[in-house]
Amino acid sequence: MAEELESFFQRLADSFLGGDEVWLAAAYTYPLSIFAGSTIRIEHSSAALLTTLAKRRRDAITFGASIIRSQIVDIKVVKSLNLDVHVHWNFVAETGRAIAQDRIRFLCRRTESNDFIIESVEFLVNGIAMLKKFHNDADNQSVRLKT
């Protein structure tokens, strides 16, 4: 099962960065809970989730991400049907330089067709958001210095 999960989460990463909206929409259940720090976001439809993912994808590409290397760190079986999967997404530039890392906890389960579907997402570390904040803070600081 670990190899199947590795393949699923790498495909999720590839679909995210590549903008494969059809596959992404089918990979989640709705409503979908997304936890990030003290924020809880509920996506009630695939259209709403795809809008959110498109913004994150633009940020990742803006900062130079050309691939994401997905790595499962931990898998736990919860209630015999659900899986608690901790994944690191390493955003990498074409040069091979690491840009950021997301640490994400996914609650997922097997479907009747023996694939996986994601029921909730928790960002333990949101590397792209931290990078965006760092750049925005640096831009604001440089504006203050110029004035």
Domains of the chain from N-terminus onward? 2-146 (3.10.450.50)
Asked whether residue 101 carries a pLDDT value surpassing 60, the answer given is: yes
> Around Cβ 57, how many Cβ atoms within 10 Å?
18
Measured between alpha carbons, how far is 58 from 96 in angstroms, rounded to an integer?
Answer: 19
pLDDT of residue 81: 75
pLDDT-derived band of residue 131, with 50, 70 and 90 as boundaries? low
- pLDDT of the residue at 126: 73
Distance CA 134, CA 114 (A): 41
Q: What is the mean pLDDT of the chain?
A: 86
- Predicted confidence band at 32 (pLDDT cuts at 50, 70, 90)? very high
Q: What is the pLDDT of residues 73-91, one digit of tens each?
A: 999 998 767 999 999 999 9
Which among 35, 65, 72 has a CA at the least distance from the CA of 128? 65
pLDDT at residue 133, as a whole number: 59
pTM for this prediction: 0.84
**Quick one: pLDDT band at residue 27, thresholds 50, 70, 90?**
very high
State CA 114 to chain mean position distance: 22
Per this entry, what is the length of the chain? Answer: 147
Question: What is the rounded average pLDDT of the residues 47-70?
Answer: 92
Alpha carbon 75 to its chain centroid, in Å, reads 17
